[in-house]
Amino acid sequence: MQVEAGDITIRYDLTGPESAPVVVLSHCLSGSMAIWAPQMNALEEKYRVLRYDLRGHGGSDAPDKDYSMKMLASDAAALLDVLEIESVHFMGISLGGMIGQQLALMHPEKVSSLILCDTACRIPEEARPVWEERIAVARENGMAALADGTMERWLSPSFQKNNPETKQKIKNIILQTPVAGYAGCCRAIGDFDVMDELSRLSVPALILVGENDPGTPVEMSLQIQSAIRDSVMIELPRAYHLSNIEAAREFNENVMAFLAKQ
Question: Following DSSP, what letter does each residue of 4-66 receive, concatenated?
Answer: EETTEEEEEEEES-TTSPEEEEE--TT--GGGGHHHHHHHHTTSEEEEEPPTTSTTS---SS-
> How many Cβ atoms from other residues are within 10 Å of residue 36's Cβ?
21
pLDDT score recorded for residue 131: 96
211 within 8 A of 237, measured Cβ to Cβ: yes
DSSP string covering 166-216, please?
A: HHHHHHHHHHHS-HHHHHHHHHHHHT-B-TTTGGG--S-EEEEEETT-SSS
Phi, psi of 143 (to 5 degrees): -70, -20
How far apart, in whole angstroms, are the C-alpha atoms of residue 239 and residue 213? 7
Report the chain (262 residues): mean pLDDT per 10 consecutive residues.
Answer: 97 98 98 98 98 98 97 98 98 98 98 98 93 97 98 98 98 98 98 97 97 97 97 98 98 98 97
**Would the pTM of this model clear 0.85, i.e. be above it?**
yes
User: Rounded to an integer, what distance in angstroms lies between the CA atom of residue 196 and that of residue 33?
Assistant: 30
- 23 - beta bridge partners? 49, 89
Query: Architecture of 2-260 per CATH?
Result: 3-Layer(aba) Sandwich (3.40)
- For strands 111-117 and 205-210, give the pairing: parallel
Residue 117: predicted pLDDT:
98
Looking at residue 11, its pLDDT comes to 98
**Cα–Cα distance for residue pair 72/105, rounded to 1 Å:** 13
Q: Count other C-beta atoms under 10 Å from residue 171's C-beta.
A: 18
Parallel, antiparallel, or unpaired for β 205-210 and 232-236?
parallel
CA dihedral 128→133→138→143, nearest 10 degrees, is -80
